[in-house]
């Protein structure tokens, strides 16, 4: 998100708390390097996942009045952040009670195409994060993580996938939804009518159902 978008979304959550639509919560907006996939690069030069899990989470717990357990943590992201949220939730279900992927990508099983970016950009990301290795991309992918951690995810992770009807990633999102269904992972799947890759339009369109997700996730608090 840009600085302007963060301010708008902060107000969105703040207004919901004031209205009693969601419980009081701390919303943290980390920012990863562009194209990092919220992952550790294969060459170790950009350890984004390690920084998020081993440095940012402890920092939040130590410096803010946060609930320092999985019962009080939701991981959510937009676009590449939606991919990262799916990754973190499925890889670390012991750390998060819920994961929310909003217009996430690249959620495809194979990174041989990328509907929202140019071929040049796809290759740049593949090289920078995966060293050009498609198997490394598969290892990072929420597709693989869902398979590897299916039992733990089923038992403890509240999961949702949201996509705009006009988003370039709509077909990929449907494929991911079908994959989760096939391996028996419960999740919410929402297609926002008429919306493209537009953060506030998607968030606003979720309405009461959107706020209910957070209430359900934090219901034990």
CATH number of the domain enclosing 204: 3.40.50.1820
Q: Count CB atoms within 10 A of the CB of residue 14.
A: 11
* Band of pLDDT at residue 221, cut at 50, 70 and 90: low
d(CA 60, CA 120): 37
Q: Which among 95, 83, 97, 89 is positioned nearest to 176, based on CA atoms? A: 83
Residue 2 has pLDDT above 70, yes or no: no
Name the pTM for this structure: 0.94
Query: Can you say whether residue 38 is alpha, beta or left, with left for phi > 0 and alpha for psi between -120 and 50 degrees?
Result: left
Q: How many domains does the chain have?
A: 1
State the pLDDT at residue 3: 64
Domain that holds residue 139: 3-217
Q: Which two structure tokens, joined as six digits, stand for 89?
A: 């939730």
- Please say whether the beta carbons of 39 and 85 come within 8 A: no
Tens digits of residue pLDDT in 29-75: 999 999 999 999 999 999 999 999 999 999 999 999 999 999 999 99
What are the CA-CA distances from residue 98 to residues 130, 171, 176 (Å)? Answer: 27, 24, 17
**Which residues are bridge partners to 93 per DSSP?**
none
d(CA 61, CA 47): 21
Q: Which among 183, 73, 88 is positioned nearest to 140, based on CA atoms? A: 88
Which strands, in side-by-side order, build the sheet including 74-78? 74-78, 98-102, 158-164, 188-192
Tens digits of residue pLDDT in 127-143: 999 999 999 999 999 99
State the pLDDT at residue 1: 55
156-175 burial, b for 16+ CB within 10 Å, e for fewer?
ebbbbbbbbeebbbbebbee
Q: Which two structure tokens, joined as six digits, stand for 25?
A: 């919560």
Residue 100 has pLDDT above 90, yes or no: yes
Query: Can you say whether residue 39 is alpha, beta or left, with left for phi > 0 and alpha for psi between -120 and 50 degrees?
Result: beta
């Amino acid at each position: 998100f840009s600085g302007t978008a963060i301010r708008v979304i902060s107000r969105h959550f703040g207004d919901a708390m004031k209205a009693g639509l969601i419980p009081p919560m701390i919303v943290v907006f980390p920012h990863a390097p562009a194209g990092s996939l919220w992952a550790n690069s294969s060459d170790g030069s950009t350890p984004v996942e390690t920084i998020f899990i081993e440095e940012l989470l402890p920092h939040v717990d130590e410096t803010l009045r946060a609930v320092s357990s999985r019962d009080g943590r939701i991981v959510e992201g937009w676009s590449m952040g939606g991919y990262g949220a799916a990754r973190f939730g499925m890889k670390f279900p012991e750390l998060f009670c819920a994961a929310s992927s909003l217009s996430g990508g690249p959620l495809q099983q194979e990174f041989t195409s990328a509907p929202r970016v140019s071929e040049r950009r796809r290759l740049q990301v593949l090289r920078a994060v995966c060293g050009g290795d498609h198997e490394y991309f598969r290892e990072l992918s929420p597709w693989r993580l869902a398979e590897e951690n299916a039992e733990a995810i089923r038992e403890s992770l509240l999961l949702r996938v949201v996509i705009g009807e006009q988003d370039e990633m709509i077909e990929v999102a449907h494929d991911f939804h079908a994959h989760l269904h096939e391996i028996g992972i419960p999740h919410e799947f929402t297609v926002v009518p008429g919306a493209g890759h537009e953060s506030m339009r998607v968030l606003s369109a979720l309405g009461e159902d959107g706020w209910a997700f957070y209430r359900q996730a934090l219901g034990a608090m």
